[in-house]
Chains A and B, each alone.
Chain A
C-alpha cells in the first residue's frame, strides 16, 4: 500500500515539476516578446511559414467543412421545414466552434509538428548551444518570433477558414440544393452578432498560444538523437490537439 502511494506521489510530483517547467517557459518567452531587441525579419519569416504556407490546406479544409455542414444541415432542417435557416446553421457553428478548433488542429499538423522537429534538430545538432555560447538568447531568436507569429496568424487563418466555409456552405445550399442566395445570407444577420465573432477570435488566440507553447517547448527540450526528435514531435502534436479540445470546452462554458 505504501509502495503504491509512494508511486502515485512520485508521479504527481514529477507531473507538477514538468508543468511548472512548461509554465516558466511560457512566461519567459512571452516576457521576451515585449522587450527589445525585436527580431522583425525572423518574425516575418515565421508568419510566412505558419501562416502563408498553411493557406492552401486551410482553404481546402474550410471549404469542405462548410460544404458538409450545409449538406447535413439542409437534410436536418428540411425535416422540420426550416431550410431557410441553413445560413446560420452553417455560419454559427463555424464561427463559434469549428473554425477556431479545426483550423488550430490543421495548423498543429502542418506547422506545429514541423516547428517542434526544427527546434529539436537545432537542439541535438548543438545549434541552440552555439547561440547560447555566443551570449545570444536562443529564446529570443527561436521561440519568441514563433509565438508572436502564432498570435498574429491564428485569428487570421481562422477568419479565412470561416469565410471559405461559409462560401462552401453557400455553394452546396444555394448552387446545388436550390436555396435562394438572399435567404442564405440574410438569416445569418438575424441569428448572429459581433459577440459570436469575438468568441471565435478569443478561441483562436488561445489555441495559437497553446499550440506554439507546447510545440516550441517539446522541441526546445527534446531528447537525444533522431528518436528524441520523433518522440517530441509526436508528443507535441498529441498534446496540442488534446489541449485545443479541452480549452475549447472550457472557453465554451465561459462564453455560452
Chain B
C-alpha cells in the first residue's frame, strides 16, 4: 500500500530523517513510535505531501507522491484522511459543518445524502447532540472524535493519525483507541499512527515501527517489539533514564 524508500529530510543543518525505509501493507494498522522531536510528525507530513523530502521516495499504491504536484498530488491525497494532533477543526464551522465539509466540497452528494452520512459518523464517534456546537465549545477529547469523524467521512483508503490521544486522560485515551480499532474494523482502512502511548499502543495496532536517529531502528508486531533485545528499544519501552538514548 505505502512504500517509503530511503527518505531523507534536513531543516538547515539539522538532519531529521536519515534514510527512512518502511513498507506498510494494505489494511494494516501501524504505529510509529520514537523520541519527542525525533521526526515522527515530519515523516507523517511527507506521507500526505505536506513536506517534500531531500531524497528518497514514497510510493502510495505505486505512485510516487514526492514526484507529483498540482492535480496529480491532489488525486493521491483523495485516498487519505488525516487526524491532526490538535484536531485542526475549522473554528468558524460547527461540529456538523466540520464533518460535512469534505463531502460538501469534494463530492456531488445531495444535501440529504450528506446529512445521512454525517449522522452516521456522529453516531460512530458518539457525538449525537453535539452537531451545533463550535470547536471552542467542546472538550479536547470531543475535538479528537470530531477530527476522526471528519477524516473518515469520505471513507479514505489510508488514515493518518498524528498523536490522536495526546493530552487526554487515561479513560479518554482508551476510548479514542477503541474508536480507532472499531472504525478500522468497520471501514477497513490502512492506518498509520504516531503515538507515545506505551504500553497501551501494543493492544491497538498490528505492527510498530521505532524511529530513532532519523531511521527505522526496528519494526515488528507488538509481541516482537516487547521481546526485542535492542538496548534502544528496551530503554524506550521501559522509559528508563539509563541507556543509549540521551535526554537532550
Contact = CB atoms under 8 A, between A and B. Distances in A.
Given A126-B85, A130-B82, A130-B84, A136 B91 contact: no
Interface in B74-116: 74-75, 77-78, 80, 82, 84-86, 88-91, 101-102, 105-106
Range for the number of chain A residues in contact with chain B: 10 to 19
A122 B89 CA distance: 9
Main secondary structure, interface of A, reads: helix
Interface string B37-65: 00000000100101000000000000000
Nearest to A133: B82
Interface in A106-156: 121-122, 125-127, 129-130, 132-136
B77 A125 contact: no
A132 B86 contact: no
B88 A134 contact: no
Contacts of B73: 135
Contacts of A135: 73-75, 77-78, 106
Contacts of A125: 86, 88, 91
Contacts of B86: 125-126
A121 B86 CA distance: 12
Contact of A134 (B45, B85, B106): B106
Range for the number of chain B residues in contact with chain A: 20 to 34
A129 B42 CA distance: 13
A133 B48 contact: yes
A126 B88 contact: yes
B111 to A, nearest CB: 14
B50 A132 contact: yes
A133 B87 CA distance: 13
Nearest to B74: A135
B50 A129 contact: yes
B34 to A, nearest CB: 20
Contacts of B50: 129, 132-133
A134 B74 CA distance: 8
Contacts of A130: 82, 84, 88, 90
B74 A129 contact: no
A134 B75 CA distance: 10
A32 to B, nearest CB: 13
Contacts of A129: 45, 50, 84, 88
A127 B85 CA distance: 11
Interface in A29-65: none
Contacts of A134: 77, 101-102, 105-106
A36 to B, nearest CB: 13
Contact of B106 (A122, A126, A132, A136): A136
Contacts of B80: 133
A24 to B, nearest CB: 15
B72 to A, nearest CB: 11
Contacts of B75: 135
A133 B90 CA distance: 14
B200 to A, nearest CB: 24
Contacts of B77: 132-135
A84 B84 CA distance: 67
Nearest to A131: B90
A135 B106 CA distance: 9
A127 B102 contact: no
Contacts of A132: 48, 50, 77
Contacts of B90: 127, 130
A8 B84 CA distance: 41
A127 B73 CA distance: 19
By Cβ-Cβ distance, the 7 closest A-B pairs, closest first, are: A135-B74, A126-B88, A135-B77, A130-B88, A133-B82, A126-B84, A133-B48
29 contacts: A121-B91, A122-B91, A126-B84, A126-B85, A126-B86, A127-B88, A127-B89, A127-B90, A129-B45, A129-B84, A130-B84, A130-B90, A132-B50, A133-B77, A133-B80, A133-B82, A134-B77, A134-B101, A134-B102, A134-B105, A134-B106, A135-B73, A135-B74, A135-B75, A135-B77, A135-B78, A135-B106, A136-B105, A136-B106
Interface of A: 121-122, 125-127, 129-130, 132-136
Given A127-B88, A129-B84, 4 more contacts: A125-B91, A133-B82, A135-B73, A135-B77
